[in-house]
Chains A and B, each alone.
Chain A
Amino acid sequence: MTERSLDDLARRVSAARAEVEARGETFYPGPSRINLAAFPPKERWDNWVELDSRSFPKRIEKRYMLVPTTCFNCESACGLLAYIDKETLQVRKFEGNPEHPGSRGRNCAKGPATLNQVTDPDRILYPLRRTGARGEGKWVKVDWDEALDELAARIRKAITEDRHNEVMYHVGRPGEDGFTERVLATWGVDGHNSHTNVCSSGARAGYHFWTGIDRPSPDHANAKVIYLISSHLEAGHYFNPHAQRVMEAKQAGAKLIVLDVRLSNTATHADHWLSPYPGSEAAINLAIANHLIQNDLYDREFVRRWWNWKEYLASEHPELEERFEVFEPLLKELYKEFTFEFAAAESGVEVETLADVAAIVATAGTRLSTHNWRSAAAGNLGGWQVSRTLFLLSALLGAIATPGGTYPNAWNKFVPKPIYSPPHPLTWNELTWPLEYPLALNELSFLLPHFLREGRGKLDVYFTRAHNPVWTNPDGFSWIESLTDLDKVGLHVALTPTWNETAYFADYILPMGHSSERHDVHSYEQYDGQWIGFRQPVLKVARERLGESVADTREVNPGEVWEENQFWIELSWRIDPDGVLGIRRYYESEKSPGTKLSVDEYYGWMFENSVPGLPEKASAEGLSPLEYMRRYGAFEISKGVGRVHEQQVSPDELTGTAESRFGRVFATSVKPPSCNVVPQATPEPDQFGRRAVGVRIDGEVLRGFPTPSGRLEFFSTTLASWGWREHALPGYIRSHIHPAALSPQQMPLISTFRLPIQIHTRSANAKWLDEIAHSNPLWMHPVDAARFEIGSSDLVRVSTEIGHFVVKVWITEGIRPGVVACSHHMGRWKLTDQGQRQMMATVDLDNTDGRWGMKRRSGVEPYESADADTKRIWWTDVGVHQNLTFPVHPDPISGQHCWHQAVSVSKAEPGDSYGDIFVDTTKAHQVYLRWMELTRNALAVSPDQTRRPYWLMRPLKPAIEAFRLPKVRA
């Protein structure tokens, strides 16, 4: 055959493939060796045939309908495909959704384990109301109407009596982009309370001070060098989508550098694993930065164009000329102290290793991807400087929004504008946003028990949702003390599908659906592109495909399990049934005024009007946008977003312009409408009310970054002007567990790390996961074990500032000597039979004047249930609840709880048993007070009589009027 005819054949096949794929079908239907990702082709999702494994060796065909949804077991929001048995209309399994642009059909163990959660024999199926004392464990089944009416009446009363701040919604995993925040806005309350300050707010602060955007979006797949501060491959945000891209890059030759005190799964994949003394990570970052700076290895042009070095010079060296050539020597001077020797002394990592790693980073050019989310930023006093100094490396190399670099997340995320956008609340809630923390990016959620104890306020209606502060937060016994005090918390409503330690202290438990039983829309930055994912009740979709109509998810969910979207709509309607409060209008149908907005209309409107390209794509397949999302579960809006900051501002926007001395451009033009309402900072207008539209760079007006200067803020004018001038530059703050702060008996405890197969409270009673991981021994190096004369599996007592816990030891070389570690994913407990019997020990609590003790009555054991596997439970251990023994450590700037603990470890004492806990909450309050002394109150430092810089991001941002400092205190 001639070469030409072979080419013709190749062309014909390519054309045939393009034609088939344009129809949305699969050209090489899998599973096969050709399609290495072997997924059922989407054109067969209505009738997918597999052999029934349970009938083996008989060949019995099972027919499935495949319906996509989104995993709710961590923030990654990976796509799932529910395999719904067409005979029984039950979900038989969950696998990956190949149409999901982020996860691309791949899942971790937690995704398929959704099935365990759906069929969990211990899950809560009906609304429950407390009958005994709070925490006594006596419940009665009630109907939804009763619960809704009581809630609506209380909330309405609070609103009409101007007690807005007594309504609070405290969320752990949101799993959605803004729905519930808007609900609170329609009520006019500043009642949003997130878990973020026990999670990622430290890292967020570091990114935000640089970019005006609080999350990174590293383009790992195209990186040449990947630099991670965490066990990101197995447990970070967004570990599965990111891990697969990190591995792609490694396969293409990228080098992976990992800073992790432990030999985590991530560290095992690293080309260079550094195990630094915890808290010294910023010192290492700075030493690498110093290497780049002193050796002129940084991208001068990028630094000149995009750093706000002029503002630095003007503020700190007003006597000097504002020229880049003047700045560069100063930059060298600023960082010269951060030598490899300095970093080695702080971190314990050898100078040669640090030099090797710095040399590799220097080769990355604009293809350096970096990431830190919790880990060191969440562990240490000043942890926010870990991410700020990490970003410094990217900013030095110009690896910002470049292929293989790191993007601000807002450019790789798409939050579709909803049908209604309520105004910002006019109130300010000091229980979540106290004056001591004007620069905190998130609510001081974990301090709530102390604020209530001090009488700063009280709560009339307190919702907890996918959050378990008694177990997750530090100082859980202080939480129990607050939650059992009816004067502090009038009504506690737990929105949860499963029992948890906080729900025991609720007045109502309202069961909400798992990931295949509810609606949500979300979008996360997982590569340089934008997508939305759609979580949906798969049985509703299945029945609708069969021609039925399902208006309420309770019709298809187990028991009376509901979904929050419908719950909030119904509750809001009942709060304002006649529309007098101005709330009801946000829940009325647009198509049929006067009737309630349905979930179908809400998302139908959103997909029709706010997702560019979706209507066209759906139409090409003869579907409505909502039908398209119901069929495929995800949609990619754009790919290759690129350098938004380099985009020229359109001349239409440049009307009535004015320019600041440093090139910030303001204009009188109206902000162009956008259907992407992704959160990012809002730089303040100039004194004449002109909005910030761009920044002048080398004569052009470019979009820039959403910071006050429009540039990357190497020098944070915000930190400088709000009382923290000494930390306005990327720098190093010694941790509260720095060796100099410890007594000779103390050592750091790393308590933050996750296990890849569990996820906080939510994965418990997922039997497949529980069987794999159900213990959290204390990691200890053999050198330390020998020092303490401790043998493998011995019991030890770990003492913190406020108490102690008793745990087993795991002696391993996978941890740095002189440091111990214990995963926080374990130690679940229950007081009675109510609870998750596969992963909760049964305990007794004892409280004498704030001196709390916990004793384990029994571990888990086999039990009879609807699931025969519960008789096969072979493990008894469920780990130890160490967080109870941690006092609060709020970072004075970011507000992040600094998780690392200074502990002393000793052999267990006579009478000690595994899992024992002791805590003195009086001491806990004293520690709280000590850390509060580190803060700088807005009343003292605010430069403009406001509570907080208006430009900073804030969940449920109040109206600008609410930012004014209270007059009585001022």
Chain B
Amino acid sequence: MTSRAELFRALAFLCESPGSASLGLGATLGLSGEPEEHEHTEAFLFQLYPYASVYVGSEGMLGGEARDRVAGFWRALGLRPPAEPDHLAALLALYAGLIDRELDEPDEARRALRRQSRKALLWEHLLSWVPVFADRFRVVATPFYAGWADLLLDALIDEARTVGRQETLPLHLRTAPELLSPSEAPRSFLSGLLAPVRSGMILTRSDLSRAARDLDLGLRVGERRFVLESFLAQDADSTLAWLTREACRSAERHASYASELGGISLFWRERAEAAAALLSEGLSTGGAEVVDVTRRAG
């Protein structure tokens, strides 16, 4: 069987800012077009940040407990965590290294242990969020990077088949807090919507631009929460309805990976459906109320 290590290393390399070596690598992988620096910046720095903690962290932000958990995994392997242990490139390169370590191990018992490490990394720290990330990424990115995201998704799902199903839900997801309703926790509702692991959906800057276009709203420049608040202030009902549709669409996308990802797919789908339900609830009680509550909590 061919080692997939080099494929993952190449995919990791292409997450990084492109250089001359990326051109050849892209061609080797059959990706269309050439990676441009501005495309990379737009995709990885402005739209979808390639860090596990952004997607599985309770606040949807870099760092925190989610990153600590990933760092703990590096330590458990006896490795010193790099400066950004949860960066996708670092995780994919680590995964490639674990494949190598497994295949290089002559002793059967130790090889089985190494397989277990590989499987744990795959399910706990990659499949727990990368499919959700990549599924959005291929929509947002330019052809070269969309192709990269397709390939990444294919490769990871194929790995899931290779190493076998993990029955337990990844710890990141098991410990993830739910999205609370605006009436219960107005302070965290809007930020919860922007935390993927709570809301089950990823709202990028380009999604919000699209919402402005779809709803004919003014797009004020600022962080995503500020933009969302300004939408609600301009037209709360339409905004909530748009968010509900986004949540429902996310739930459908998550459901499409049910056969490959099992419980992970179900988790993300249920989170998106719960968000849709809460948003619908808000809509039924009058969108303006949601706006007032969130503003007062502000």
Which A residues are closer than 8 A to B by beta carbons?
1, 3, 6-7, 9-14, 16-17, 27-29, 32-34, 36, 250-253
Which residue of B4, B12, B29, B77 is within 8 Å of A34 (Cβ)? B12
Contacts of A9 in B (CB 8 A): 7, 28-30, 151
Q: B7–A13 contact, CB under 8 A?
A: yes
Any A CB within 8 A of the CB of B155: yes
Interface centre among B9, B30, B90, by most chain A C-beta atoms within 10 angstroms, is: B9
Contacts of A16 in B (CB 8 A): 24-25, 28
Q: A1–B16 contact, CB under 8 A?
A: no
Interchain CA distance A253-B5 in the complex, whole Å: 23
Number of A-B contacts (CB under 8 A): 74
Contacts of B24 in A (CB 8 A): 16
The bracket for how many chain B residues form the interface is 20 to 34
Chain B 1-32: CB-based contact to A (< 8 A → 1; otherwise 0): 11111110110110010010100110011100
Any A CB within 8 A of the CB of B84: yes
Chain B interface mostly helix, strand, loop or mixed? helix
Contacts of A36 in B (CB 8 A): 82, 93
Any A CB within 8 A of the CB of B79: yes
Q: A1–B154 contact, CB under 8 A?
A: yes
Chain A interface mostly helix, strand, loop or mixed? helix
Contacts of A10 in B (CB 8 A): 2-7
Interchain CA distance A253-B113 in the complex, whole Å: 12
Any A CB within 8 A of the CB of B254: no
Contacts of B90 in A (CB 8 A): 33
Q: B89–A13 contact, CB under 8 A?
A: no
Interface centre among A10, A27, A250, by most chain B C-beta atoms within 10 angstroms, is: A10
Q: Please, could you name 9 A-B residue pairs with CB atoms under 8 Å apart, sorted by A?
A: A1-B154, A6-B158, A9-B29, A10-B3, A14-B6, A16-B25, A32-B13, A33-B93, A34-B89
Chain B 87-113: CB-based contact to A (< 8 A → 1; otherwise 0): 101100100000000000000000000
Q: A27–B28 contact, CB under 8 A?
A: no
Chain B residue nearest to A28 (CB atoms) is B13
Any A CB within 8 A of the CB of B222: no
Q: B89–A32 contact, CB under 8 A?
A: yes
Interchain CA distance A6-B24 in the complex, whole Å: 18
Any A CB within 8 A of the CB of B164: no
Interchain CA distance A252-B4 in the complex, whole Å: 23
Chain A residue nearest to B7 (CB atoms) is A10
Interchain CA distance A14-B10 in the complex, whole Å: 9
Contacts of B78 in A (CB 8 A): 250-253
Interface centre among A1, A13, A17, A28, by most chain B C-beta atoms within 10 angstroms, is: A13
Chain A residue nearest to B82 (CB atoms) is A33
**Smallest Cβ distance from A666 to chain B, in angstroms?**
40
Interchain CA distance A345-B2 in the complex, whole Å: 59
Q: B28–A33 contact, CB under 8 A?
A: no
Interchain CA distance A14-B9 in the complex, whole Å: 10
Q: A33–B154 contact, CB under 8 A?
A: no
Q: B93–A34 contact, CB under 8 A?
A: yes
Which residue of B13, B28, B93, B158 is within 8 Å of A12 (Cβ)? B28
**Smallest Cβ distance from A90 to chain B, in angstroms?**
29
**Smallest Cβ distance from B30 to chain A, in angstroms?**
7
**Smallest Cβ distance from B102 to chain A, in angstroms?**
13
**Smallest Cβ distance from A221 to chain B, in angstroms?**
13
Contacts of B77 in A (CB 8 A): 251
Interchain CA distance A33-B86 in the complex, whole Å: 11
Which residue of A11, A32, A252 is within 8 Å of B2 (Cβ)? A11
Interchain CA distance A712-B186 in the complex, whole Å: 79
Q: B155–A13 contact, CB under 8 A?
A: no
Q: A3–B158 contact, CB under 8 A?
A: yes
Interchain CA distance A252-B78 in the complex, whole Å: 7
**Smallest Cβ distance from B87 to chain A, in angstroms?**
6
Q: B7–A28 contact, CB under 8 A?
A: no
Interchain CA distance A253-B105 in the complex, whole Å: 14
Chain B 259-276: CB-based contact to A (< 8 A → 1; otherwise 0): 000000000000000000
**Smallest Cβ distance from A307 to chain B, in angstroms?**
29
Which residue of A13, A32, A252 is within 8 Å of B28 (Cβ)? A13
Chain A residue nearest to B162 (CB atoms) is A3
Contacts of A17 in B (CB 8 A): 6
